[in-house]
């Protein structure tokens, strides 16, 4: 759980640096997919970025970690993430 909090904070810092409104919807969609989608769907969503295989595998390792959380906790985590983004990013 500590790694998830760290990744969340780093992601929010990168996403909302200078309140870049264009990045926030994409960030929300990717974060939701990371928390709720299956691994195959998440892998497909990552393919649009053309990232190196090592980066994709790193994201999938985080995905596997979040998949160990109960669905209820993942949904709650997603709601909190959404609230943070809505408060810090101007859409």
Report pLDDT digits (tens) over 36-86: 999 999 998 888 888 899 999 999 998 998 899 999 999 998 888 877 777
* pLDDT tens, residue by residue, 10-41: 776 666 555 555 556 777 788 888 889 999 99
C-alpha 17: how far from chain center: 16
Alpha-helical (H) ranges within the chain are 2-15, 23-36, 39-47, 53-67, 71-88
pLDDT in the model for residue 1: 60
CA atoms within 13 A on the CB side of 40: 0
Overall pTM > 0.85: no
CA distance 34 to 59: 9
pLDDT in the model for residue 34: 87
Fold of 20-86: Uteroglobin (1.10.210)
Retrieve residue 35's tokens: 């928390």
Query: What's the N-to-C CA distance of the chain in angstroms?
Result: 29
pLDDT in the model for residue 18: 57
């Amino acid at each position: 759980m500590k790694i998830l909090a760290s990744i969340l904070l780093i992601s929010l810092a990168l996403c909302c640096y200078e309140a870049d409104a264009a990045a926030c919807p994409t960030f929300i969609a990717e974060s939701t997919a990371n928390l709720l989608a299956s691994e195959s769907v998440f892998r497909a969503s990552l393919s649009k970025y053309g990232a190196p295989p090592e980066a994709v595998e790193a994201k999938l390792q985080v995905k596997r970690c979040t998949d160990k959380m109960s669905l209820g906790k993942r949904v709650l985590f997603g709601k909190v993430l959404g609230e943070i983004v809505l408060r810090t990013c101007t859409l």
